[in-house]
Amino acid sequence: MSANATSRFSWHGYQEARLPQVPSWVETLGRAGHIAKGVVYFIVGFLAFRVTIGAGGEVGGARNAIREIGEQPYGMFLLGLVAIGLLGYTAWRWVQAIKDTEGAGTEAKGLLKRGGYAFSGIAYLVLGCYAGSLSLGFAGGSSSGESSQASFLLDNAVGQVVLGIAGVITVGVGIYFVIKGYYAKFMSKYQLAEMGDTFRTTALHAGRIGLITRGIAFSIIGYFLAHSAWQGTGNGEIAGMGDALSAIAGQMYGRILLGVVGFGLMAYAVHMVLLGCYRRFNVGQ
Protein backbone atom coordinates (compact mmCIF):
# COMPACT_ATOMS: atom_id res chain seq x y z
CA MET A 1 0.00 0.00 0.00
CA SER A 2 1.35 3.40 -0.92
CA ALA A 3 1.84 6.27 1.48
CA ASN A 4 -1.06 8.13 -0.18
CA ALA A 5 -3.36 5.16 0.27
CA THR A 6 -2.55 4.68 3.93
CA SER A 7 -2.78 8.39 4.75
CA ARG A 8 -6.57 8.13 4.59
CA PHE A 9 -6.41 5.86 7.63
CA SER A 10 -4.03 8.02 9.65
CA TRP A 11 -4.73 7.93 13.38
CA HIS A 12 -1.76 9.80 14.79
CA GLY A 13 -2.82 12.44 17.33
CA TYR A 14 -6.50 11.40 17.39
CA GLN A 15 -6.00 8.76 20.07
CA GLU A 16 -4.30 10.97 22.63
CA ALA A 17 -6.71 13.83 22.01
CA ARG A 18 -9.93 11.88 22.55
CA LEU A 19 -9.37 8.43 24.02
CA PRO A 20 -8.78 7.76 27.72
CA GLN A 21 -5.93 5.64 28.95
CA VAL A 22 -6.37 2.00 29.93
CA PRO A 23 -4.10 -0.11 32.16
CA SER A 24 -1.64 -2.47 30.52
CA TRP A 25 -3.54 -5.56 31.69
CA VAL A 26 -6.51 -4.41 29.61
CA GLU A 27 -4.29 -4.35 26.54
CA THR A 28 -3.17 -7.92 27.27
CA LEU A 29 -6.77 -9.11 27.59
CA GLY A 30 -7.79 -7.25 24.47
CA ARG A 31 -5.02 -8.69 22.32
CA ALA A 32 -5.57 -12.25 23.55
CA GLY A 33 -9.31 -11.88 23.05
CA HIS A 34 -9.02 -10.64 19.48
CA ILE A 35 -6.78 -13.57 18.59
CA ALA A 36 -9.09 -16.11 20.25
CA LYS A 37 -12.09 -14.64 18.42
CA GLY A 38 -10.12 -14.87 15.19
CA VAL A 39 -9.37 -18.56 15.79
CA VAL A 40 -13.06 -19.33 16.32
CA TYR A 41 -14.17 -17.44 13.20
CA PHE A 42 -11.45 -19.04 11.11
CA ILE A 43 -12.69 -22.50 12.04
CA VAL A 44 -16.32 -21.51 11.33
CA GLY A 45 -15.27 -20.28 7.89
CA PHE A 46 -13.03 -23.28 7.27
CA LEU A 47 -15.81 -25.74 8.11
CA ALA A 48 -18.09 -23.99 5.63
CA PHE A 49 -15.37 -23.93 2.97
CA ARG A 50 -14.63 -27.62 3.57
CA VAL A 51 -18.25 -28.51 2.82
CA THR A 52 -18.04 -26.44 -0.37
CA ILE A 53 -15.14 -28.43 -1.78
CA GLY A 54 -16.74 -31.74 -0.82
CA ALA A 55 -14.24 -32.61 1.90
CA GLY A 56 -16.96 -33.67 4.32
CA GLY A 57 -18.14 -32.21 7.60
CA GLU A 58 -21.02 -29.82 8.15
CA VAL A 59 -21.48 -26.10 8.56
CA GLY A 60 -21.90 -24.71 12.04
CA GLY A 61 -21.52 -21.70 14.24
CA ALA A 62 -19.12 -20.73 17.00
CA ARG A 63 -20.01 -23.64 19.29
CA ASN A 64 -19.37 -26.11 16.50
CA ALA A 65 -16.00 -24.48 15.93
CA ILE A 66 -15.13 -24.77 19.61
CA ARG A 67 -16.09 -28.46 19.64
CA GLU A 68 -13.89 -28.91 16.55
CA ILE A 69 -10.95 -27.44 18.48
CA GLY A 70 -11.54 -29.91 21.27
CA GLU A 71 -11.28 -32.82 18.85
CA GLN A 72 -7.76 -31.88 17.75
CA PRO A 73 -4.51 -33.17 19.33
CA TYR A 74 -4.07 -31.44 22.70
CA GLY A 75 -7.66 -30.28 22.24
CA MET A 76 -8.40 -29.76 25.93
CA PHE A 77 -5.33 -27.56 26.32
CA LEU A 78 -6.22 -25.57 23.20
CA LEU A 79 -9.79 -25.15 24.46
CA GLY A 80 -8.43 -23.75 27.71
CA LEU A 81 -6.40 -21.17 25.81
CA VAL A 82 -9.42 -20.23 23.67
CA ALA A 83 -11.57 -19.93 26.78
CA ILE A 84 -9.05 -17.61 28.44
CA GLY A 85 -8.84 -15.55 25.26
CA LEU A 86 -12.62 -15.24 24.89
CA LEU A 87 -13.02 -14.27 28.55
CA GLY A 88 -10.29 -11.70 27.98
CA TYR A 89 -12.25 -10.37 24.99
CA THR A 90 -15.31 -10.18 27.25
CA ALA A 91 -13.38 -8.08 29.77
CA TRP A 92 -12.09 -5.84 26.96
CA ARG A 93 -15.62 -5.28 25.63
CA TRP A 94 -16.83 -4.28 29.08
CA VAL A 95 -13.91 -1.93 29.54
CA GLN A 96 -14.79 -0.42 26.15
CA ALA A 97 -18.34 0.14 27.38
CA ILE A 98 -17.52 1.46 30.86
CA LYS A 99 -14.34 3.46 30.19
CA ASP A 100 -15.44 4.61 26.73
CA THR A 101 -12.09 3.66 25.22
CA GLU A 102 -13.41 4.41 21.71
CA GLY A 103 -14.52 7.96 22.55
CA ALA A 104 -18.19 7.24 21.76
CA GLY A 105 -19.39 9.82 24.28
CA THR A 106 -22.52 10.05 26.41
CA GLU A 107 -25.04 11.12 23.81
CA ALA A 108 -27.73 8.69 22.64
CA LYS A 109 -25.68 7.36 19.72
CA GLY A 110 -22.61 6.90 21.90
CA LEU A 111 -24.53 5.18 24.68
CA LEU A 112 -26.11 2.84 22.15
CA LYS A 113 -22.68 1.98 20.79
CA ARG A 114 -21.31 1.37 24.27
CA GLY A 115 -24.34 -0.76 25.09
CA GLY A 116 -23.50 -2.84 22.03
CA TYR A 117 -20.00 -3.41 23.42
CA ALA A 118 -21.46 -4.61 26.72
CA PHE A 119 -23.95 -6.93 25.02
CA SER A 120 -21.18 -8.32 22.81
CA GLY A 121 -19.19 -9.00 25.98
CA ILE A 122 -22.05 -11.08 27.38
CA ALA A 123 -22.21 -13.15 24.19
CA TYR A 124 -18.47 -13.90 24.32
CA LEU A 125 -18.68 -14.58 28.06
CA VAL A 126 -21.17 -17.38 27.31
CA LEU A 127 -18.95 -18.68 24.51
CA GLY A 128 -15.84 -18.52 26.70
CA CYS A 129 -17.58 -20.38 29.51
CA TYR A 130 -18.69 -23.02 27.00
CA ALA A 131 -15.10 -23.51 25.81
CA GLY A 132 -13.90 -23.60 29.41
CA SER A 133 -16.48 -26.22 30.40
CA LEU A 134 -15.38 -28.45 27.52
CA SER A 135 -11.71 -28.00 28.43
CA LEU A 136 -12.51 -29.20 31.96
CA GLY A 137 -14.23 -32.30 30.60
CA PHE A 138 -17.85 -31.30 31.05
CA ALA A 139 -20.22 -32.45 28.30
CA GLY A 140 -21.27 -29.72 25.89
CA GLY A 141 -24.87 -28.86 25.36
CA SER A 142 -26.74 -28.97 22.10
CA SER A 143 -25.90 -26.37 19.50
CA SER A 144 -29.62 -25.78 19.04
CA GLY A 145 -29.85 -23.71 22.21
CA GLU A 146 -30.25 -20.42 20.37
CA SER A 147 -33.05 -21.84 18.22
CA SER A 148 -34.90 -23.20 21.26
CA GLN A 149 -34.66 -19.78 22.91
CA ALA A 150 -36.16 -18.20 19.80
CA SER A 151 -38.94 -20.84 19.83
CA PHE A 152 -39.69 -19.99 23.46
CA LEU A 153 -40.19 -16.33 22.53
CA LEU A 154 -42.69 -17.35 19.85
CA ASP A 155 -45.00 -18.83 22.49
CA ASN A 156 -46.57 -15.45 23.29
CA ALA A 157 -47.29 -12.09 21.65
CA VAL A 158 -44.80 -10.15 23.77
CA GLY A 159 -42.10 -12.65 22.92
CA GLN A 160 -42.86 -12.29 19.23
CA VAL A 161 -42.45 -8.52 19.50
CA VAL A 162 -39.15 -8.95 21.34
CA LEU A 163 -37.94 -11.43 18.71
CA GLY A 164 -39.03 -9.09 15.92
CA ILE A 165 -37.15 -6.17 17.46
CA ALA A 166 -34.08 -8.38 17.90
CA GLY A 167 -34.32 -9.33 14.24
CA VAL A 168 -34.52 -5.71 13.08
CA ILE A 169 -31.58 -4.74 15.30
CA THR A 170 -29.56 -7.67 13.97
CA VAL A 171 -30.24 -6.58 10.38
CA GLY A 172 -29.15 -3.07 11.36
CA VAL A 173 -25.93 -4.42 12.84
CA GLY A 174 -25.34 -6.40 9.64
CA ILE A 175 -25.79 -3.28 7.51
CA TYR A 176 -23.43 -1.40 9.83
CA PHE A 177 -20.77 -4.07 9.33
CA VAL A 178 -21.15 -3.85 5.55
CA ILE A 179 -20.79 -0.05 5.60
CA LYS A 180 -17.88 -0.24 8.01
CA GLY A 181 -16.16 -2.76 5.77
CA TYR A 182 -16.79 -0.82 2.56
CA TYR A 183 -15.37 2.44 3.91
CA ALA A 184 -12.56 0.64 5.79
CA LYS A 185 -13.01 2.76 8.91
CA PHE A 186 -11.61 -0.14 10.91
CA MET A 187 -8.11 0.79 9.70
CA SER A 188 -8.04 3.62 12.25
CA LYS A 189 -7.78 0.95 14.95
CA TYR A 190 -4.40 -0.25 13.70
CA GLN A 191 -0.96 1.05 14.67
CA LEU A 192 -0.16 1.66 11.01
CA ALA A 193 3.26 3.13 11.77
CA GLU A 194 4.37 -0.23 13.20
CA MET A 195 3.07 -2.29 10.26
CA GLY A 196 4.89 -3.03 7.03
CA ASP A 197 3.26 -2.55 3.64
CA THR A 198 2.32 -6.23 3.37
CA PHE A 199 0.54 -6.29 6.72
CA ARG A 200 -1.25 -3.00 6.01
CA THR A 201 -2.48 -4.30 2.66
CA THR A 202 -3.54 -7.62 4.20
CA ALA A 203 -5.34 -5.84 7.04
CA LEU A 204 -7.21 -3.62 4.60
CA HIS A 205 -8.40 -6.38 2.27
CA ALA A 206 -9.04 -8.99 4.98
CA GLY A 207 -10.98 -6.46 7.05
CA ARG A 208 -13.07 -5.31 4.11
CA ILE A 209 -13.94 -8.80 2.89
CA GLY A 210 -14.46 -10.12 6.41
CA LEU A 211 -16.68 -7.35 7.72
CA ILE A 212 -18.87 -7.29 4.61
CA THR A 213 -19.27 -11.07 4.77
CA ARG A 214 -20.06 -10.99 8.47
CA GLY A 215 -22.56 -8.20 7.83
CA ILE A 216 -24.33 -10.30 5.20
CA ALA A 217 -24.50 -13.26 7.60
CA PHE A 218 -25.91 -11.05 10.37
CA SER A 219 -28.51 -9.63 7.98
CA ILE A 220 -29.63 -13.15 7.08
CA ILE A 221 -29.94 -14.04 10.77
CA GLY A 222 -31.90 -10.87 11.48
CA TYR A 223 -34.22 -11.35 8.51
CA PHE A 224 -35.20 -14.85 9.55
CA LEU A 225 -35.64 -13.85 13.19
CA ALA A 226 -37.99 -11.04 12.14
CA HIS A 227 -39.76 -13.34 9.67
CA SER A 228 -40.30 -15.98 12.37
CA ALA A 229 -41.72 -13.30 14.69
CA TRP A 230 -44.03 -11.99 11.96
CA GLN A 231 -45.30 -15.46 11.04
CA GLY A 232 -45.50 -16.57 14.66
CA THR A 233 -43.84 -19.87 13.86
CA GLY A 234 -40.40 -21.35 14.38
CA ASN A 235 -40.50 -23.40 11.19
CA GLY A 236 -37.27 -22.73 9.35
CA GLU A 237 -36.18 -20.10 11.84
CA ILE A 238 -32.58 -18.99 12.00
CA ALA A 239 -31.04 -17.90 15.27
CA GLY A 240 -27.29 -18.14 14.81
CA MET A 241 -24.35 -18.14 12.43
CA GLY A 242 -24.54 -21.89 11.82
CA ASP A 243 -28.23 -21.61 10.86
CA ALA A 244 -27.44 -18.74 8.50
CA LEU A 245 -24.70 -20.77 6.79
CA SER A 246 -27.07 -23.72 6.44
CA ALA A 247 -29.66 -21.43 4.84
CA ILE A 248 -27.07 -20.17 2.36
CA ALA A 249 -26.08 -23.75 1.52
CA GLY A 250 -29.73 -24.56 0.76
CA GLN A 251 -30.05 -21.88 -1.94
CA MET A 252 -29.48 -22.25 -5.67
CA TYR A 253 -25.72 -22.33 -6.19
CA GLY A 254 -25.57 -22.74 -2.42
CA ARG A 255 -22.20 -24.46 -2.40
CA ILE A 256 -20.60 -21.62 -4.33
CA LEU A 257 -22.19 -19.03 -2.05
CA LEU A 258 -21.17 -21.02 1.01
CA GLY A 259 -17.60 -21.13 -0.25
CA VAL A 260 -17.56 -17.37 -0.72
CA VAL A 261 -18.98 -16.78 2.76
CA GLY A 262 -16.59 -19.30 4.29
CA PHE A 263 -13.65 -17.53 2.67
CA GLY A 264 -15.02 -14.21 3.92
CA LEU A 265 -15.27 -15.45 7.49
CA MET A 266 -11.69 -16.72 7.31
CA ALA A 267 -10.69 -13.26 6.07
CA TYR A 268 -12.50 -11.76 9.05
CA ALA A 269 -10.50 -14.12 11.27
CA VAL A 270 -7.27 -12.80 9.76
CA HIS A 271 -8.48 -9.27 10.45
CA MET A 272 -9.12 -10.14 14.10
CA VAL A 273 -5.72 -11.79 14.55
CA LEU A 274 -3.98 -8.77 13.02
CA LEU A 275 -5.95 -6.53 15.38
CA GLY A 276 -4.74 -8.70 18.23
CA CYS A 277 -1.17 -7.99 17.14
CA TYR A 278 -1.38 -4.38 15.94
CA ARG A 279 -4.45 -2.79 17.53
CA ARG A 280 -3.74 0.59 19.08
CA PHE A 281 -4.23 0.92 22.82
CA ASN A 282 -3.75 4.10 24.82
CA VAL A 283 -1.98 2.39 27.71
CA GLY A 284 -1.34 4.21 30.96
CA GLN A 285 0.48 3.18 34.09
pLDDT tens digits, one per residue of 113-123:
888 888 888 88
Q: What is the pLDDT of residue 143?
A: 46
Q: Does the pLDDT at position 168 exceed 80?
A: yes
pTM of the model: 0.76
Average model confidence (pLDDT) across the chain: 77
- Alpha carbon 258 to chain centroid distance? 18
Give dist(CA 17, CA 103) in Å, integer: 10
Q: What is the three-state SS of 74-119?
A: CHHHHHHHHHHHHHHHHHHHHHHHHHCCCCCCCCHHHHHHHHHHHH
Q: What is the pLDDT of residue 237?
A: 52
- Ranked by mean pLDDT, the top range of 115-124, 167-176, 205-214, 236-245 is 205-214
Report the SS3 class of residue 225. helix
Task: Please report how the helices 24-52 and 62-70 are oriented relative to each other, as an axis angle in degrees rounded to 10.
Answer: 90
Q: Does the pLDDT at position 282 exceed 90?
A: no
